[in-house]
Homo-oligomer: A and B are copies of this chain.
């Protein structure tokens, strides 16, 4: 059975040494959040993830969820109890708004805890994760009354939430959705239609489920301009606002899928279900997209989480499994063979995953810090910068990190040889669970298009220009630091190549938008590589300073070794991506559709 150990030391390094978690105390809301409190929370979260969630991961995969004859859904053995513990320990409300009973911790700390939940049990973590998305939507678009009614129970975890977007004939293109809403005399709506792929759509872990449903009000305009967002609770609320009469929404079936078996992915049928409009009529997508941007960061985190747990197990196996001898001669004379970690090609897969994970984690936590600042700063210029960065980085975090985690989880599985293919060792599950992260919340190709088609050009390209200026300044500031010159050179080179790609896309995307589309995924990877290079350079500065200050913790030189691998062996991908981008759309578009 696979194991999981929360990478607390690495998290602390990022929060306290590299990314300045303590800066947040300048904001009123976080004035009492000090290092001790943060570390105590990390400690408790690691225990919960390692001891409660991780052992249930395989159980969830094997048992899956069961839809019973009455339409109810039973979650895997242990899930219900673990969820109860999670709510009792207050984990669902950790970073939630204190106005509604949340604990108001920073997002930077939440993301560390969330990483532990998703690494240890991705399918389980989706239940509170989806609730978080639904909470966000109500906070952004709901009335005061709706907030008072739903948020406290959702933050406490007593009620969970879902997001109902996809229909059989439309997912990416929500303009085509057909679910209809008919206004009633009392101000509510009757919602009818079918939604598919609804994660956590029906289950037995909470007292109520608050469905957020996109639907079209009768007579609304066609396309995306006629979509509204509704709250449809599984149980309508009685006069005491407790779950009362059953609403006309039900789970028609559970999808059989490649992974995340522990999460119930439902076909949800709405048959004149009672729903309540959130915000204005026909403005539902706006609310949904605010929430979805946050969800996309969460999906990037899922990718990192699977990559991390896959890495941990592969590293253990590679040090333990003896097979063959080192190319340079036996390293383990007394045993019949050497551990397979002596082989450069096994190390290549481990180093690649490790170098990706550590910088991917930094990127996620860095993004979370910008979100914290944006929410709490009164400096408009700073808030604008944070918003710019989040807009630019969201598709990278979602698309690039999960593309990469697909590669790394497969590599970690590969290290197990045949044992990686059989389910017994659990490596297959990490690959299968991770697979969905490339798809939902906007497939990675949609992320790439969002990046080159919208985020890059917004406000005259301000976001990337600001980031580039920040990187330039950083490189300048560290120019004299010879011990880490490889990091600065790598970062500068990455920025230069990225700029060349950006210029090419700007110039040629104008002429033919397909040129931008054709290079979009390669560009997303280039921006991913460049931002991870920035994260590695930041980490290297700190690690080198600690060494210069006389630290004898191995952690710091090991950071430099891992980062150096990234600079030397992963950044070369930039050249291939750049060359591909510059071929433009023609090689892709030349073939008639019928010839495929």
Q: Find residues 513-537 in chain A having any chain B CB closer than 8 Å to their own CB.
A: 513-514, 516-518, 520-521
Decide: A258 and B341 in contact? CB cutoff 8 A: no
Smallest distance from the beta carbon of A513 to chain B beta carbons, Å? 4
Report yes or no: A258 in contact with B432, Cβ–Cβ below 8 A: yes
Q: Are B422 and A344 interface neighbours, CB within 8 A? A: no
Q: 1/0 per residue A562-596: CB within 8 Å of B?
A: 10110011001101100110010101111111111
In the assembly, what is the distance between CA of A443 and CA of B414, in Å? 8
Chain B residue at minimum C-beta to C-beta distance from A222: B336
Indicate if the CB atoms of A344 and B585 lie closer than 8 Å. Answer: yes
- A418: chain B residues at CB < 8 Å are 166, 171, 196-197, 439-440
- Whether the Cβ atoms of B351 and A171 lie closer than 8 Å is no
What sequence of 0s and 1s flags, for each residue 541-568 of chain A, a beta carbon within 8 Å of any chain B beta carbon? Answer: 0000000000000100010011011001
Cβ of A23 within 8 Å of any chain B Cβ, yes or no, is no
CB distance from A581 to the nearest CB of B (A): 10
Q: Which 10 A-B pairs have the closest CB atoms?
A: A344-B517, A572-B579, A327-B513, A344-B518, A345-B445, A315-B596, A258-B428, A173-B323, A576-B576, A173-B324
Which among B170, B449, B576 is the interface contact of A323 at CB below 8 angstroms? B170
Proximity string of chain A (485-522) to chain B, C-beta cutoff 8 Å, 1 when within and 0 when not: 00000000000000000000000000011101110110
Known: A175-B336, A558-B595, A576-B576. 9 other contacts (CB 8 A): A258-B431, A315-B596, A343-B445, A345-B448, A347-B589, A350-B596, A418-B440, A420-B439, A565-B590
Option from B166, B315, B348, B520 in Cβ contact (under 8 Å) with A588: B348
| Contact of B591 with A351 in the complex, beta carbons under 8 Å | yes
Output the nearest chain B residue to A519 by Cβ-Cβ distance: B344
Contact of A591 among B339, B413, B558 (CB under 8 A): B558
Chain A 286-320, CB within 8 Å of chain B: the 1/0 string? 00000000000000000000000000000100110
A10 contacts across to B, CB distance below 8 A: none
Residues of B within 8 A of A34 (CB): none
Q: A414 near B444 (CB under 8 angstroms)?
A: yes
Q: Does A172 contact B (CB under 8 A)?
A: yes
- 17 A-B interface contacts by CB (under 8 A): A172-B323, A257-B423, A327-B514, A341-B593, A343-B445, A344-B514, A344-B588, A347-B518, A348-B588, A414-B438, A421-B436, A431-B435, A554-B592, A564-B587, A565-B588, A569-B580, A569-B588
Task: Name the residue of chain B whose CB is nearest to the CB of A311.
Answer: B596
Cβ of A410 under 8 Å from chain B: yes
Q: Would A176 and B568 count as touching, CB distance under 8 A?
A: no
Q: Which residues of chain B are within 8 angstroms of A596 by Cβ–Cβ distance? A: 315, 318-319, 341, 350, 354
Question: A184 on the interface (CB 8 Å rule)?
Answer: no
Q: Which of B443, B562, B565, B569 contacts A417 (CB 8 A)?
A: B443
Nearest-neighbor residue (CB-CB) of A351 within chain B: B588
A256 touches B436 (CB 8 A): no
- Chain B residue numbers with a CB within 8 Å of A318 are 596
Measured in the bound complex, the distance between the Cα atoms of B161 and A527 in whole Å is 51
Residue of B nearest to A521 (CB): B345
Known contacts A572-B575, A580-B572: A255-B424 contact under CB 8 Å: yes
A565 and B596 CA atoms in complex are apart in Å by 14
* A346 in the interface (beta carbon within 8 A): yes
Most central of A166, A418, A422 by chain B CB within 10 Å? A418
Tell me which of B255, B417, B590 contacts A561 (CB under 8 A): B590
- Residue ID in chain B nearest A337 by CB atoms: B173
Residue among A171, A176, A428, A445 with most chain B CB within 10 A: A445
Residues of B within 8 A of A516 (CB): 327
Flag if A449 contacts B176 (CB, 8 Å).
no
Please report the C-alpha to C-alpha distance between residue A161 and residue B232 in the assembled complex, in whole angstroms. Answer: 59
A328 at the interface (CB under 8 A from B): yes
Complex interface: chain B residues within 8 A of A436 (CB):
421
CB distance from A376 to the nearest CB of B (A): 36
Query: Which of A342, A351, A449, A517 has the most chain B CB within a 10 Å cutoff?
Result: A517
Interface residues of A in 141-177 (CB under 8 A from B): 166, 170-173, 175-176
The residue of chain B having its C-beta at the shortest distance from the C-beta of A350 within the complex is: B596
Q: Does A397 contact B (CB under 8 A)?
A: no
Contact (Cβ within 8 A) A324 B172: yes
Judge whether A277 is part of the interface by a CB distance below 8 angstroms. no
Q: Given A414-B438, A589-B344, is A575 in contact with B565 using a C-beta cutoff of 8 Å?
A: no
Give chain B residues whose Cβ lies under 8 Å from the Cβ of A170: 323
Contact A593 B339 (CB under 8 A): yes
What 1/0 mask marks residues of chain A from 437 to 469 whose CB sits below 8 Å from any chain B CB? 011100111001100010000000000000000
Across the interface, name the chain B residue whose C-beta is closest to A453. Answer: B327
Q: Decide if A328 touches B593 in the complex (CB within 8 Å).
A: no
Cα of A173 to Cα of B337 in the assembled complex, Å: 8
Shortest CB–CB separation between residue A294 and chain B, in angstroms? 20
Minimum Cβ distance to chain B for residue A318 (Å) = 7
Chain B residues with CB under 8 Å of A96's CB are: none
Asked if residues A583 and B569 are in contact (CB atoms below 8 Å), the reply is yes
Q: Are A579 and B575 in contact, with the CB atoms below 8 A?
A: yes
| Distance in angstroms between the alpha carbons of A579 and B571 in the assembled complex | 10
In the complex, how many angstroms separate the beta carbon of A48 from the nearest chain B beta carbon? 26
Known A-B contacts A418-B166, A576-B576; the reply to A568 vs B595 at CB < 8 A is no
Is A346 a contact partner of B166 (Cβ separation < 8 A)?
A: no
Task: Say yes or no: B346 contacts A445, CB within 8 Å.
Answer: yes
* A588 vs B568: C-alpha distance when bound (angstroms): 10
Q: How far is the CA of A420 from the CA of B175 in the complex (A)?
A: 21
